[in-house]
Structure 1
């Protein structure tokens, strides 16, 4: 599925002559709120008319998928995926990948993705690291530059370890009800970002638990949900896919 074809394309803007459709995600054909779809047997691709995508379209794409996932499983596609016509959608995606798509829809049924973002106050986090590892500001005095750099790197590593351990504690209630979770790409060394795969009924309790963390001194907390399961499109221990469709 990772080989480019003349009629179905990923994010590239090259050679778009003849393109007529933007592809958003795969749902079951009987999805109650799928809107405009191209159907093949029991599968359907949510589509819209092609135009040069903008930043606003990227937001709308994610919002659309977030609404769809409330009423049934969705296999999301990368924003900007296009097709020349409905026939290519049926032949090159739905029919060609039907067993895998059905398996993903079955596995994701009733589940949604939730993102949790924790931001720790840097001064407070450093104080905790220094207390736990008996590293003090005074130890840097009189050291040469290379030694101070190494000490700084050690402190940074300890800060990340502390952040992850502290995040495990703070997010334990969410982890307990999650089917799966993964670390998202890191921001700075005081920011923890995680994605959880949750039963839909657990989203609001999880959101409440995460946002309540903002009342703790030195912690900022945000939650984004429900989201399509972009980060959970492979089976456990399965090699991540390089498909241009995103799964």
Structure 2
């Protein structure tokens, strides 16, 4: 977008910025972002920002806004490289998007976009089957088995200390199994990706939560490798594949 194409900025508006894309990206008609606002492209040289004009008096942060932010960038990443910005990036004017974001970071953005060309992110998330993992812990940990027998049919108050200790053991054992499972999965999938990043667990029964940067040409191989892992883990943990997504775990952009 050139200076002559821009509309004058108004005091009652602000500009929400989703992420950085190549300047030749076009948005489809009717694409909406946070607060249901139309998404536009602001260009500078060979990079651009995906933006929406918003009412600065409207407070953002609703779950729907966060989902709109993520969905817009994930959809864009299917067709072009994307550098996602964190949720909540707002600039005062459209010209500020150029002057304070695109212009001073132009070369860094261009290099990062070139590095991500033809690559997308996938996330593999798995959760242990609670009964299966507890049975495994009791079977393989003699102290856990002994404690479980000690608390069987005893009142909770009377067996409180044993129950606390058993809970600690189970937590530690699940942590160890999560680490081992994550290392194994990353190793199994590493031939099909260019990078991986382990995410923090979001649930105490999480078996794995990891992101993978995959080249477009290898997406079918990667997806088949994940399908093989799903079959291998059946009965012990349930795996889910999310993607393709914007490369949330593999870029750092100004907030």
Q: TM-score range, shorter-chain basis?
A: 0.7 to 0.9
Q: Within 5 A, what are the aligned runs for 1:184-203?
A: 184-191=199-206, 192-203=208-219
Equivalence for 1:174: 189
CA RMSD of aligned residues (A): 2.8
Structure 1 residues 139 and 55, CA, compared in 2 at 3 Å: closer, same or farther?
Answer: closer
What CA distance in whole angstroms lies between the structure 2 residues aligned with 1:73 and 1:96?
Answer: 20
Question: SS where residue 229 of structure 1 aligns?
Answer: coil
Q: Within 5 A, what are the aligned runs for 1:1-247?
A: 18-31=12-25, 33-34=26-27, 36-51=40-55, 52=58, 53=60, 54-139=62-147, 141=150, 149-150=164-165, 152-170=167-185, 172-191=187-206, 192-211=208-227, 213-215=229-231, 216-234=234-252, 243=254, 245=255
Query: Which structure 1 segments of 5+ residues have no match?
Result: 1-16, 235-240
Would the aligned equivalents of 1:21 and 1:49 in 2 still touch at CA under 8 Å? yes
What TM-score do you get using the length of structure 1 for normalisation?
0.76
Q: How many residues align?
A: 221
Which segment is superposed worse, 111-120 or 158-167? 158-167
**Which deviations, in whole Å up to 9, do the C-alpha atoms of 1:175-211 show, x marking residues without a partner?**
3222221222212232121111111233344344435
What TM-score do you get using the length of structure 2 for normalisation?
0.74
Structure 1 residues 49 and 169, CA, compared in 2 at 3 Å: closer, same or farther?
Answer: same
Structure 1 residues 135 and 185, CA, compared in 2 at 3 Å: closer, same or farther?
Answer: same
User: How much does 1:74 deviate?
Assistant: 0.7
Please say which structure displays the higher CA radius of gyration.
2
Question: SS where residue 30 of structure 1 aligns?
Answer: coil
User: How much does 1:151 deviate?
Assistant: 5.1
